[in-house]
């Protein structure tokens, strides 16, 4: 057993915001790496909500057995409105101090990292870990859960294409991504979609209809349009508009919804989550706090949380162009 930084004897670990496949391998890695370094771990149940209400449980190496392959999060998660209030933050700090936590490791998306920053401002050492299927967090190439979600989407679209071709239909398939078209663009490229609609690019419905009609003229037996959740007008509204137009195909809409957040994590997500979990503990031990674990190429770097939350991650223009070039 290695001895860790003397100042870090007990830490909290929590998952927050929308769940993402890989959160369990992350928890396992934090608990087991901490044990190896002689650090006690308290699991915070239900994200920031649990922090406010002192819902903590001691976690030993046996408590995280058999969870590597499970989707969701054994610690549960929440989107806490209470923590946004100064009174909620004050209560959380009181609970952290009462429990004797020297630091906290938080896995979650953009909102959770903003929450983490509130703790930092009140003097609590924090390491953030990016976990969101949207992959919209600045400072990391990939977040926990993205790869699994993408595989779920690809599997669904492959199936939709079968029925679309059989019926000569155009399908609008909605992926998650309230503010980011990352999943939609990636899925569009690797499923060979005819068109991808994302919140970052304004594509008017008339242009969508023209692209579908063009696919029909070229002799395609189907058209797959991948629509990110944040695109406007909403997918159902767009579907009704397109269906009312004469575009060759009849139209159907499939909203993939929360199935994208579930399921067992892929090999990639298990490894990423595990590496992030171990690194988060090691960053704390090395005195690197108030940072997020960021995947940069093959390396995991400590990225200041300040920098993460004050920047916006954009989708590479190359990918958007690739989706367009290949849809013929």
229 binds ligand F6P (CB under 6 A): yes
**If binding is defined by CB under 6 A, does position 178 make contact with ligand F6P?**
yes
> Least distance to ligand F6P from the beta carbon of 129, Å?
14
Does residue number 134 form part of the binding site for ligand F6P (CB under 6 A)?
A: yes
Identify whether 134 is a catalytic site residue. Answer: yes
Q: Parallel, antiparallel, or unpaired for β 291-296 and 126-130?
A: parallel
Q: Does 235 bind ligand F6P (CB under 6 A)?
A: no
Binding ligand F6P by CB under 6 A: which of 42, 78, 176, 211? 176
Within the chain, what is the greatest distance between any pair of CA atoms?
71
Q: Mark 38-77 with x for binding to ligand F6P (rule: CB under 6 A) and - for no binding.
A: ----------------------------------------
CB 137 to ligand F6P: min, Å: 11
Tell me how far apart the alpha carbons of residues 34 and 269 are, in angstroms, rounded to a whole number. 21
Q: Is 81 in the site for ligand F6P (CB under 6 A)?
A: no
Applying CB under 6 A, the span of 89-97, 127-135, 210-218, 235-243 interacting with ligand F6P comes to 127-135
Give me the least distance between CB of 41 and ligand F6P, in Å please. 25
Binding ligand F6P by CB under 6 A: which of 116, 124, 133, 226?
Answer: 133
Indicate whether 131 belongs to the interface with ligand F6P (CB under 6 A).
no
251 burial type by CB count under 10 A (0-12 exposed, 13-18 middle, 19+ buried)? buried
Please give the Cα distance from 197 to 77 (Å, whole number).
Answer: 30
The residue whose Cβ lies closest to ligand F6P is 18
- Binders in 94-113 for ligand F6P, by CB under 6 A: 109
Active-site position among 19, 102, 134, 269: 134
> Which of the residues are catalytic?
134
What residues make contact with ligand F6P under the rule CB under 6 A?
18, 79, 109, 132-134, 176-178, 229, 261
């Amino acid at each position: 057993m290695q001895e860790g930084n003397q100042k870090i004897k007990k830490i909290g670990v929590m998952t927050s915001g929308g769940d993402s496949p890989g959160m369990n391998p992350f928890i396992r890695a934090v608990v087991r790496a901490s044990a190896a370094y002689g650090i006690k771990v308290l699991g915070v149940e239900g994200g920031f909500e649990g922090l406010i209400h002192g819902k903590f449980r001691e976690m030993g190496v046996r408590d995280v057995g058999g969870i590597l392959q499970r989707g969701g999060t054994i610690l549960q998660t929440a989107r806490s409105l209470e923590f946004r209030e100064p009174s909620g933050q004050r209560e959380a700090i009181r609970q952290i101090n009462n429990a004797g936590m020297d630091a906290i490791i938080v896995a979650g998306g953009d909102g959770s990292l903003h929450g983490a920053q509130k703790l930092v401002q009140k003097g609590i050492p924090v390491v953030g870990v990016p976990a969101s299927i949207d992959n919209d967090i600045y400072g990391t190439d990939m977040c926990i859960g993205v790869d699994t979600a993408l595989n779920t989407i690809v599997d669904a679209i492959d199936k939709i294409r079968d029925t679309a071709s059989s019926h000569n239909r155009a399908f609008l398939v909605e992926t998650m991504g309230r503010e980011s078209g990352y999943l939609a663009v990636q899925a569009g490229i690797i499923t060979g979609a005819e068109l991808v609609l994302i919140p970052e690019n304004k594509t008017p419905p008339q242009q969508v209809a023209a692209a579908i009609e063009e696919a029909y003229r070229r002799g395609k037996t189907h058209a797959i349009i991948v629509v990110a959740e944040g695109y406007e007008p909403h997918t159902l509204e767009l579907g009704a508009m397109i269906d009312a137009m004469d575009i060759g195909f009849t139209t159907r809409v499939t909203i993939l919804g929360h199935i994208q957040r579930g399921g067992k994590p892929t090999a990639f997500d298990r490894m990423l989550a595990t590496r992030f979990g171990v690194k988060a503990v090691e960053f704390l031990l090395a005195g690197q706090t108030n940072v997020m674990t960021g995947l940069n190429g093959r390396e995991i770097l400590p990225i200041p949380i300040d920098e993460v939350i004050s920047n916006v991650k954009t989708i590479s223009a190359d990918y958007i162009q690739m989706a367009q070039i290949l849809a013929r």
